[in-house]
């Protein structure tokens, strides 16, 4: 199964996150932008290479890490201290940041999005529920990929679920879903998931 991560459309020859609300970190005088669907949860896959000197969201002097198997000229990791999973689970979460290049320079294709999903971990409000394997995980992913109609769910009245796609890689793909009155909305896109997804979340 191929996983595709769509990016934002930016105008101009050189995007400038410093003039926007983008979540960015500067490393080696280069701008790295947060990839919201990508995290690292295994600290043994990380090596400290620097500390944050400038960022829109990350405190100064927070460690910056190289991710095993990937060049720090493409992506880096920074520990996240403001995540629901971080606060409620005995789990360290590291956000992934990708190098932002000029619009006329083609970014290197990361093999993350071509890797087979080995399992899916399900969380409810930060609490681990269970792990899906094999046929069950494939059926679950098919439902997530079937998200279509755009809906709106008020986050103040919703339950937050998180799906962690485990790959043969240091990187994990993360999807957040809001649920209210048996409606499920995929975060980032506001797309509605089929109601059948609910049977995996009981």
Residue 108 pLDDT > 90, yes or no? no
Q: According to the model, what pLDDT value does residue 186 have?
A: 87
Domain boundary residue, one of 68, 99, 130: 99
Residues 91 and 138 in one domain: no
Domain boundary residue, one of 99, 125, 150: 99
Nearest CA-CA partner of 160 in 101, 102, 106, 85:
85
Residues 28 and 54 in one domain: yes
- Residue 145 tokens read as 């990929």
Q: According to the model, what pLDDT value does residue 125 have?
A: 87
Quickly list H helices, the chain: 84-88, 134-145
Residues 37 and 79 in one domain: yes
Question: What mean pLDDT is reported for the chain?
Answer: 82
Residues 194 and 119 in one domain: yes
Residue 73's domain comprises 17-99
Kindly state whether residue 59 falls inside one of the protein's structural domains.
yes
Q: Supply the pTM of this predicted model.
A: 0.79
Residues 194 and 120 in one domain: yes
Q: According to the model, what pLDDT value does residue 190 have?
A: 82
Domain boundary residue, one of 35, 68, 99: 99
Kindly report, residue by residue over 33-56, the tens digit of the pLDDT.
Answer: 999 889 999 999 999 999 999 999
**In percent, how much of the chain has pLDDT > 70?**
78
Q: According to the model, what pLDDT value does residue 115 have?
A: 74
Kindly state whether residue 109 falls inside one of the protein's structural domains.
no
**In percent, how much of the chain has pLDDT > 90?**
52
Average pLDDT over residues 167-192: 88
Q: According to the model, what pLDDT value does residue 46 have?
A: 97
Q: According to the model, what pLDDT value does residue 54 have?
A: 95
Residue 196 near residue 145, CB atoms below 8 Å: no
Kindly state whether residue 104 falls inside one of the protein's structural domains.
no
Nearest CA-CA partner of 164 in 126, 191, 109:
126
Residue 3 pLDDT > 60, yes or no? no
Average pLDDT over residues 54-71: 94
What's the domain count of the chain?
2
Residues 121 and 95 in one domain: no
Kindly state whether residue 3 falls inside one of the protein's structural domains.
no
Kindly report, residue by residue over 17-30, the tens digit of the pLDDT.
Answer: 555 578 899 999 99
β partners of residue 121:
131, 164
């Amino acid at each position: 199964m191929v996983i595709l991560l769509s990016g934002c459309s930016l105008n101009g020859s050189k995007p400038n996150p410093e003039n926007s609300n983008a979540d960015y970190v500067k490393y080696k005088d280069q701008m790295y932008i947060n990839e919201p669907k990508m995290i690292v949860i295994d600290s043994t896959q990380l090596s400290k290479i620097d500390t944050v000197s400038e960022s829109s969201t990350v405190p100064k002097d927070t460690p910056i890490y190289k991710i095993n198997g990937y060049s720090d000229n493409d992506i880096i990791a920074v520990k996240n201290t403001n995540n629901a999973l971080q606060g409620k689970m005995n789990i360290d979460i590291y956000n992934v940041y990708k190098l932002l290049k000029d619009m006329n320079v083609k970014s290197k294709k990361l093999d993350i999005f071509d890797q087979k999903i080995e399992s899916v971990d399900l969380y409810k409000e930060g609490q681990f529920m269970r792990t899906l394997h094999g046929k069950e995980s494939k059926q679950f992913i098919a439902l997530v990929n079937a998200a279509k109609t755009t809906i709106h769910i008020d986050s103040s009245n919703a339950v937050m679920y998180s799906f962690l796609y485990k790959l043969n890689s240091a990187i994990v793909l993360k999807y957040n879903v809001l649920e209210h009155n048996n409606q499920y909305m995929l975060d980032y896109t506001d797309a509605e998931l089929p109601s059948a997804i609910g049977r995996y979340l009981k």
